[in-house]
Amino acid sequence: MPNVLEIPMKGEYDVYDITHEISKYAKENNVQNGIIIVYSKDPLVRFITIEYDADLLLDFKKLLSEIAGDNRFLKASILSPSITIPVINGRLELGSFQQIVVLDLNEREGTRKICFLAVEY
């Protein structure tokens, strides 16, 4: 069953940790073994797995600026519009310090729609 999460975001490289929401979705849908696909149709919303630490996130944003300057669409082109998370024995298969993070490259604030879908095997 697909799910849509609406997140109010500030734009300007705002980040949001959705790990808890994805884990909750897996439990509520009794996903034991499979994958969860997370995606957004917004051309400037991207996903990363990273330790949700303020300094590390700031370094990541600086790196994006060094690579692609001010061009938001170029930055979006080197990041993924979706992410696939394995689920094993009912748990998200993430590293100890890994969180699923939404990165908003839009200039303006707004509500971003994040979709996720479980595929079991």
Q: Which two tokens stand for residue 65?
A: 């600026």
Residue 1 pLDDT: 60
**C-alpha of 23 from chain center:** 13
d(CA 75, CA 29): 34
CATH superfamily for domain 3-120: YjbQ-like (2.60.120.460)
Residue 69 pLDDT: 87
Placement of tokens 């697909």 in the chain:
2
Of the candidates 95, 99, 98, 100, which has an alpha carbon nearest to the alpha carbon of residue 83? 100
pLDDT tens across the length of the chain (121 residues): 679 999 999 998 999 999 999 999 999 999 999 999 999 999 999 999 999 999 999 999 999 989 988 899 999 999 999 999 999 999 999 999 999 999 999 999 999 999 999 999 8
Q: Which residues pair with 38 in a beta bridge?
A: 83, 116
Residue 2 pLDDT: 72
